[in-house]
Chain A
């Protein structure tokens, strides 16, 4: 089955609409802010922008980011063919202006024009037991990518040791450093452990979780809740204008690490947290 066109539709959905949980969190945040404040008017502008983009099927933000695909496929599927179809879909979605051409040659500065390039888009592909094919897509914008950060613990300036309290300390620091620059209010995907590269992959995978789920690991669930509250106490606010909402959600995962290393990786996602998912079973495509 050729999935090119269904994947174009997946990209369109991701780029031109926000997941319902993120939009609901933005609305709740707006209602929490003082009426007439800069924070409230900014969140109103963001919500109006989302509604307009959805109605016109236009990108929510002009930076449509790096497309990151997470694909799980059943045994017997050709990963190579899937990838080729996803690439064709990216080219077509760019042509239809659901995506802005974003892949720039790092040496010449030339934009490839169709969002294909070395390591661009990003693919994570894995075979699994299920007979379902699942494609999750995250569009991650540059402003938010620039304020993402990785710490190596122990980290003396913050007195952050190799434990959950150390994790807490560096995450608060990361949100303070970012101020409004990652287009706050943001969402944090965090990985404890891993090596330097897998850690960012796992941290970004956390961003695929719905905001209202509960972490199955009780210690991490508690830390997520505490960090969400404390990040908002920093008072950075939407776009850094001050206010009660700096962060909409904190999602933490852990990966095994070397005895010698202890990384804490914070993938900052802007309010334009564009994620979408599709499933294919027996030739039927659904966008749950």
Chain B
């Protein structure tokens, strides 16, 4: 299990060298997005025949930002400074499995190299990671202050009024965001493996009676 410092844009080679269990410190510009953002991206950009004119600018911007970068499943607590700029106060991960219906398409369409969240994701996402060269990076649940501290700058926000603060696309610059690879681009998932090990041990423990 290695410790790796990664900087956006992440190359395919760098992502493919990661194995489940590796610790990653991520730096660079990433974007937050959860339920509303994923639904929007899939419905407006990916599955629609053509992108409406009003959404064209954001589409171009997201394509530029997300290629080689990561999307973070996070609903932050934010504060607006007097000069109008935003700050993240708390920025822990939210449960990722809700994006399972969308994530594989978003990885493929935007060329994501990383998906950040908690709890892991399902087989479709795992397959997409394998096919397109991406990983699932688990953030530490509850470590809200530490993660907010790694967010050095909020560059901008999209769809804040339409989706609300927790659901908006926040474009942030992170420095040494602490993460663990729990699904890699070789088809391995820690979530499946740990579950299987613990199942086996449970059976052993229940086999022995007092």
Which A residues have a C-beta under 8 Å from some C-beta of B?
36-38, 41-42, 45-46, 48-49, 52-53, 56, 58-63, 97, 100, 141, 143, 158-159, 164-165, 168-169, 172-173, 176, 179-181, 183, 230, 233-237, 239-242, 270-272
Contacts and interface: CB of A to CB of B under 8 A. Distances in A.
Interface of B: 1-3, 21-23, 77, 89-92, 118-120, 138, 140-147, 149, 178, 180, 182, 190-191, 193-195, 197-199, 201-202, 205-206, 209-210
Contacts of A42: 140, 180
Contacts of A58: 89-90, 145
Given A45-B143, A49-B140, A60-B142, A241 B190 contact: yes
A56 B145 CA distance: 9
Given A42-B180, A159-B206, A242 B142 contact: no
Nearest to A43: B140
A169 B149 CA distance: 42
Contact of A234 (B191, B193, B198): B198
Nearest to B3: A36
Contact of B198 (A158, A179, A239, A271): A179
B76 to A, nearest CB: 9
A180 B97 CA distance: 14
Contacts of A41: 3, 23, 178, 180
Closest 4 CB pairs of A and B: A49-B146, A62-B90, A62-B144, A49-B143
B110 to A, nearest CB: 27
Given A46-B140, A240-B191, A242-B194, A37 B21 contact: yes
Contact of B180 (A141, A241, A272): A241
A253 B100 CA distance: 40
Given A38-B180, A234-B198, A235-B198, 10 more contacts: A36-B23, A37-B21, A52-B146, A61-B143, A159-B206, A176-B202, A234-B202, A241-B21, A241-B190, A242-B194
